[in-house]
Structure 1
Amino acid sequence: MKTKPLGEKILVKRFDAEEKTAGGIVLPDAAKEKPKEGKIIALGDGKLLDSGERATFQVKKGDRVVFTSYAGTEIDIDGEEYLLMSEDDILAIIE
């Protein structure tokens, strides 16, 4: 299903959690920390400014990004988990 975020919202696919620690210990699902990194899947039109124009995003589709711990809203699209968040929740682009 094709999904287009509205306004200043961004659709992000979170990367999978690590299965093992650096020392090789296998982590159970309850102990896995959700990653704070993901890939941008889709962008809205941008924030509506007072002038009536739309602000441009600093990120683009396909960027690998780092976001805040409690960023966005988790949504399910065709059995896949995504995050719908504002650009303000994104901290950095990983190059």
Structure 2
Amino acid sequence: MNNARASDPITSVIAGERAVLFARYHNVRILAALDDEKSLTAGEIARITGLSVEQVCRRLPELQARGQVQVVQFEGEDLLRNGYRVWEAV
């Protein structure tokens, strides 16, 4: 995946390449946390993994699109805990 435009300076190209590596590393940590705990919020995942909430919140929809995680449903609605949706591994 290319995260930089052709007109971007080389530093942006390098940062984009590193972002792909970070994403893989983040995904592995998030999935491991969900495998251990079964269902967690983004805030809980952040505490367990040492990632920031922003990093977790960026990765969860990507993992959801790949069918690796889903939001826990309760009576047809997204389950919330402390203002965060609750996620589980699929």
TM (norm. structure 2) is 0.26
Higher RCO, 1 vs 2 (CA within 8 Å, ≥6 residues apart): 1
* Structure holding more helix per residue: 2
TM (norm. structure 1) is 0.25
* Structure holding more strand per residue: 1
